[in-house]
Amino acid sequence: MKETPLELKISRRMQAGVLTLSGFLGDDPRHFHEIIAEDEQTLAQLGKTPEEIAQRMQYFTDLSFDSFEEEISVDDIYRVETDVVRGKLPCPFSHPGGYRKAVTVLTNTNLGITIRWSSLNLHMIQAHHFFEGKGSPFRLEPELLVKVLF
């Protein structure tokens, strides 16, 4: 199927070196529509939605955001910290505005698993159901998110 002009623009913006040094697709050969569809299917099998994932991620980000870059404990299970640096990143899907350069690091101490996400990751999951392509440095595997966050 032929891409629309907007889809072509999004595909270009996802490439390495355009908006970010490493881009959003990693070494994943699939079109971003295919990546989204597969991740949505995985989440449906797990009984979760991208919105539920994003809400849970936002919960932890919000709790840790004002901790002045100090780790906090949540529910005696999670350790979480959000680091903020100057600047903003634009959304590759052409949403207006920019997303703060903030990275949240969460450890589920019961599982001994640590995950991290950026403000842009959170937006892309919430608004576009996009977890990034395989091999991308900020790729978030839906199965792992469900396991660690819930």
What tens digit of pLDDT does each residue of 103-114 get? 999 999 999 999
Q: For residue 42, what are the contacts with CB-CB under 8 A and spacing of at least 6?
A: 142, 143
**Which alpha helices (DSSP H) does the chain contain, by range?**
5-13, 32-46, 50-65, 119-123, 142-149
Strands 72-74 and 113-118: unpaired
CA distance 119 to 117: 7
CA distance 102 to 37: 27
In single-letter form, the type of residue at position 93 comes to: F
Edge-to-edge strands of the sheet including 78-90?
Answer: 72-74, 78-90, 98-108, 113-118
What tens digit of pLDDT does each residue of 82-128 get? 998 899 999 999 999 899 999 999 999 999 999 999 999 999 999 99
Say what the pTM is. 0.94
- The pLDDT score that the predictor gives to residue 70 is 87
Tokens describing residue 52 = 């539920």
Listed as own residue / partner, the contacts of 11-14 with beta carbons closer than 8 Å and 24 or more positions apart are 13/90, 13/92, 13/94, 14/92, 14/133
